[in-house]
Amino acid sequence: MKKILIVDDEKPFLLSLIDGLAVNNDEYEIETANNGREAIDVLRSMHIDLLVTDLKMPEMNGFEILAWTSRHQPQLPVIVMSAFGTAEIEARLEKMDTLQFLDKPLDLPMLQEVISNGLKSGGKSFIRGITLATFLQLMKVEKKNCTLKVINSDHNAYLYVRQGELIDAELDNINGIEAAMEIVSWSDSEIEMDGTCRRQDDIINLPLEHLLIEAFRRKDEADEIERMDGVDENNDGNSDDESTDDVTISRIETEDSPEKVPEPTILQPLAKILTKLPSVQEYVIFDANKLPIEKNIGKCSLTGMDLAKFDKLLVELTVDLQNGECRFITFNGKGRNRYIILYIQQYSVLAKLKPGARAQQVGAEIEKHIDY
């Protein structure tokens, strides 16, 4: 027979649940614990098929239980109970499509239903386990302070949470918002929780909801680029078909343009890649004389830019810093717009990126396809 563990520090409440669920004694047995420490002892000593836990408890709270199960029993179905911030939590968890949340005082028929669904193979009321994003959203509502150690494959990362907000993050040699964006989008990670926030300064300075939305948008974009790479690889041997005709390139004609058009061996693949990259909003390709020769189809606000000014500055910086040949530089403009300039053989590319796009990722993606 299957077993359920219910964790809450209110003994009368636990007894009432046992009585209320007694009609289901032929389906499952109920184990109880008064705090997180007792709960983990139970989880270590016997097989539990479903966990029902409160969040606010002494000694070891529900968050610490969830962190422990994430690390040691990630496939354990979880139901969270709380009397705080119910509507906000429910709305967030519904969007994240993760674990089931129930408001206290509990509606007994509802509890019976979600338990039954959770014990069934393939039940759709919630996904097994708890994701890092969901964990952070619960902490946001409960205004928790903590430091999370997040383990993913060969990486150990740290998230610093103060009053429910993510204020800093560390991943390898990266910190702040870029590290946080990467960490929170991990799909398979283990969580260890320290009940103290070991950072003081708010480096990230972005609401958790906005950070999660942007992190998953970036992840979707990266997945789309990877999918495009797979399509390109499948088409490598089809040079005579019409598979490349769906990409439209706009050639720029100016009075100063040379009569001889540069060889398309690098130019056309480069324009094709820039056109397909979802993170690129606009682009212009310049020849060796810094004259624009290709641009994105439609409106483009970049054709009037004078890249020669950047070249002069770049030469001075290269001398001062004793760096080698520059492959790309990035900068921010008005309205927090982000731009990248890439130097590819005799060509220069100026691209305006979509909000939230990572310039380094764009440069790396171009580099994968083009021989610099």
Q: How confident is the model at residue 107 (pLDDT cuts 50, 70, 90)?
A: confident
Say what the pLDDT of residue 248 is: 45
For the purposes of burial, counting CB atoms within 10 Å of the CB of 43, is it exposed (0-12), middle (13-18) or buried (19 or more)? buried
Residues 213 and 328 in one domain: no
Higher local confidence (pLDDT), 225 or 233: 225
Q: How confident is the model at residue 121 (pLDDT cuts 50, 70, 90)?
A: very low
Residues 8 and 49 in one domain: yes
Omega before residue 105 within 30° of 0, cis = yes
Higher local confidence (pLDDT), 146 or 62: 146
Say what the pLDDT of residue 312 is: 67
State the Cα–Cα distance between residues 334 and 109, nearest whole angstrom. Answer: 56
How high is the mean pLDDT of the chain? 76
The residue out of 175, 205, 220 marking a domain boundary is: 220
The residue out of 100, 130, 160 marking a domain boundary is: 130
Among the ranges 25-34, 262-271, 284-293, which has the highest mean pLDDT value? 25-34
Residues 100 and 154 in one domain: no
Reported as half-sphere exposure (CB side, CA atoms, 13 A), residue 24 has a value of: 22
Higher local confidence (pLDDT), 82 or 340: 340
Beta bridge partners of 82: 103
Residues 212 and 261 in one domain: no
Is residue 237 domain-resident? no
Say what the pLDDT of residue 33 is: 93
Residues 120 and 163 in one domain: no
Among the ranges 95-99, 103-107, 284-288, which has the highest mean pLDDT value? 284-288
Is residue 239 domain-resident? no
User: What does the pLDDT average to over 95-104?
Assistant: 54
Say what the pLDDT of residue 259 is: 46
Does residue 333 contact residue 305 with C-beta atoms inside 8 Å?
no
Say what the pLDDT of residue 165 is: 93
Does residue 99 contact residue 81 with C-beta atoms inside 8 Å?
no
Residues 277 and 200 in one domain: no
The residue out of 201, 220, 239 marking a domain boundary is: 220
User: What does the pLDDT average to over 307-311?
Assistant: 72
pLDDT at 240 over 80: no
User: What is the count of structural domains for the chain?
Assistant: 3
The percentage of residues in the chain with a pLDDT greater than 70, rounded to a whole number, is: 73
Is residue 74 domain-resident? yes
Say what the pLDDT of residue 261 is: 43
Higher local confidence (pLDDT), 247 or 204: 204
Does residue 104 contact residue 83 with C-beta atoms inside 8 Å?
yes
Does residue 50 contact residue 79 with C-beta atoms inside 8 Å?
yes
Is residue 225 domain-resident? no
Say what the pLDDT of residue 270 is: 82
Is residue 170 domain-resident? yes
What is the SS3 assignment for 198? coil
Is residue 295 domain-resident? yes
Say what the pLDDT of residue 252 is: 53
pLDDT at 98 over 50: no
Q: What is the DSSP letter of 262?
A: P
Range of the domain at 148: 143-220
pLDDT at 351 over 50: yes
Residues 303 and 343 in one domain: yes
Say what the pLDDT of residue 276 is: 83
What are the backbone dihedrals phi and psi of residue 331, each rounded to the nearest 5 degrees, phi first? -160, 160
pLDDT at 180 over 70: yes
Q: How confident is the model at residue 46 (pLDDT cuts 50, 70, 90)?
A: very high
Q: Maximum CA pair distance of the chain?
A: 89
Cα 339 to the center of its chain, rounded Å:
22
Residue 94: give its domain's CATH number. Answer: 3.40.50.2300
Q: How confident is the model at residue 38 (pLDDT cuts 50, 70, 90)?
A: very high
Residues 1 and 114 in one domain: yes
Q: How confident is the model at residue 127 (pLDDT cuts 50, 70, 90)?
A: very low
pLDDT at 235 over 70: no
Is residue 233 domain-resident? no
State the Cα–Cα distance between residues 206 and 202, nearest whole angstrom. Answer: 9
Residues 277 and 365 in one domain: yes
pLDDT at 118 over 90: no
Query: Residue 37 has which token pair?
Result: 């420490």
Residues 348 and 268 in one domain: yes
Q: How confident is the model at residue 3 (pLDDT cuts 50, 70, 90)?
A: very high
Residue 311: give its domain's CATH number. Answer: 3.30.450.30
Residues 116 and 153 in one domain: no
Say what the pLDDT of residue 40 is: 92
Say what the pLDDT of residue 230 is: 62
Residues 118 and 1 in one domain: yes
